[in-house]
Amino acid sequence: MYTVVALDLDGTLTNEKKEITPRTRNAIKRAREQGCHIVLASGRPLLGIEHVASSLDLMGSEGTILAYNGGQLFDTRSSKVLWERTVDLETIHTCFRYAREHHLAALSYDEVGVITEMEDDDYVAKEAYNNAIPIRKVSDLVEAVYHPMPKVMIVGEPLLLQKARMDLLPLVGHVADLGFSEPFFMEITAKGVQKASSLQVLLSLLGRDERSLMVIGDGLNDVPMFRIAALSVAMGNASDEVKSHAHVVTDSNEQDGVALAFERYILTK
């Protein structure tokens, strides 16, 4: 039996309305009752995942949030960070100064939500909406962010972000990865951090191995997790490339694909 299940959120656990259906909630509840450890694995910040965990009754109970695309592991029972890899402050400030000089919006996170100098930017608003968290304007993001972070972002028109990446790589590429969760979202994370590597750390902490792991996802950033899982499940709405890396394909996120995967591969009769 698969005793650890890692679930991507957007496009996987949630439908296009960012909702978790009753059938999916019930399947996860039943799996947990059978002793299954649920991992919510997302590029979102912790703040953008905690309310999802709460809606599944994970907060205060056994489970893990894998946030910032692998930059942080958070224990839902104790509400404590288990493990973290951060971007150093000098690198963060270099990226923020570049964004300001080139009239691009940069953002980070505080205890409440998104912080940015450009609170009216449409792409900043999209990041806040995706995570259901508020935006707070700061006059100087460099001064506002005074400790290392698992992830910060520069957002804007895709062509401008591609140029920003090429400009910044010689400056920070030796210590940070500059990747795209969307063409208009450039994410700055610690070098080598990804969902799969953090998931391996978690398995070690749990005393489990990859034979116990099932992964469900729809994105290219889920593929490395597929490679380490005993069973990898691609969503029906995933691209053909993502599907080609999975052991099996379930229905789409609009058709309760996660619930179907649990019912087929986890839940006993």
Domain's final residue, options 190, 224, 257 = 190
Which two three-digit tokens encode residue 27?
């399947």
The residue range of the domain holding 147 is 89-190
CATH code where residue 119 lies:
3.30.1240.10
95 with 168, same domain: the answer is yes
* pLDDT tens digit sequence for 27-67: 999 999 999 999 999 999 999 999 999 999 999 999 999 99
* pLDDT tens digit sequence for 171-217: 999 999 999 988 999 999 999 999 999 999 999 999 999 999 999 99
Domain's final residue, options 168, 190, 212 = 190
Domain's final residue, options 190, 218, 238 = 190
**What confidence category does residue 269 fall into, taking pLDDT thresholds of 50, 70 and 90?**
low
pLDDT confidence of residue 181: 86
Name residue 115's beta-bridge partners: 108, 136
Signed CA dihedral, 157, 178, 227, 56: sign only: negative
162 with 239, same domain: the answer is no
- Say how far apart CA 210 and CA 107 lie, in whole Å: 35
How many separate domains does the chain show? 2
Which two three-digit tokens encode residue 229?
């899982």
